[in-house]
Amino acid sequence: MIKLNCKVKDFELPATGDKAIHLSDYLGRNVVIYLYPKDSTPGCTTEGQDFRDNYKYFQQCNTEILGMSRDSIRAHENFKTKQSFPFDLLSDKDETVCKQFDVIKLKKNYGREYMGIERSTFLIDTSGKLHKEWRKVKVKGHVEEVLESVKMLYSAQIKGA
């Protein structure tokens, strides 16, 4: 399991655009990984749209956004296209990375219990260390909070450079 201020173990996952993405591809940049339950559901759509609408501000702070769920690449491609997401969506069908981030939790919906992704976001710094995490995320206002943390991290990185 990952810990704050520790290096995040590298991973490789299939992504939209017929890519295989490694976390190590982003060394030298900050990375926001947001894990969400399911493509094209109301909360996940709103969260993705909020990241999309603020994407240019994350880019200005040397930060890439990656969305991740257990959905298939085909479902991700449809979701990304329909919502015009400028960032990639990664498919973790076997839950390898989800388990690394400890986001697979017992969930309840209409009296039914099942194992699913607990909406969570992780900010990884330019050296690949976990800088901040948000768990049990509520969508409203979340992206703004993440962006503020990114701005503070980027400002500290510029001052330290």
pLDDT at 89 (0 to 100): 98
pTM > 0.85:
yes
- Taking the C-alpha atoms of residue 110 and residue 129, their distance in angstroms, rounded to an integer, is 38
> 79-102: per-residue pLDDT in tens?
999 999 999 999 999 999 999 999
- Count how many domains the chain has: 1
> 102-125: per-residue pLDDT in tens?
999 988 888 889 889 999 999 999
Structure confidence at residue 2 as a pLDDT band (50, 70, 90): confident
> 144-160: per-residue pLDDT in tens?
999 999 999 999 999 98
Q: What is the mean pLDDT of residues 42-71?
A: 97
Domain harbouring 146, CATH code = 3.40.30.10
- Write down the mean pLDDT value for the chain: 96
Q: Hey, CA dihedral for 84, 65, 68, 87, is it positive or negative?
A: positive
Please check whether residue 3 lies inside any domain of the structure.
no
Please check whether residue 59 lies inside any domain of the structure.
yes
Please check whether residue 104 lies inside any domain of the structure.
yes
Please check whether residue 5 lies inside any domain of the structure.
no
pLDDT at 161 (0 to 100): 65
Residue 72 structural domain: 12-160
Q: What is the mean pLDDT of residues 24-53?
A: 97
The residues that are catalytic are 44
pLDDT at 110 (0 to 100): 85
pLDDT at 46 (0 to 100): 97
pLDDT at 39 (0 to 100): 96
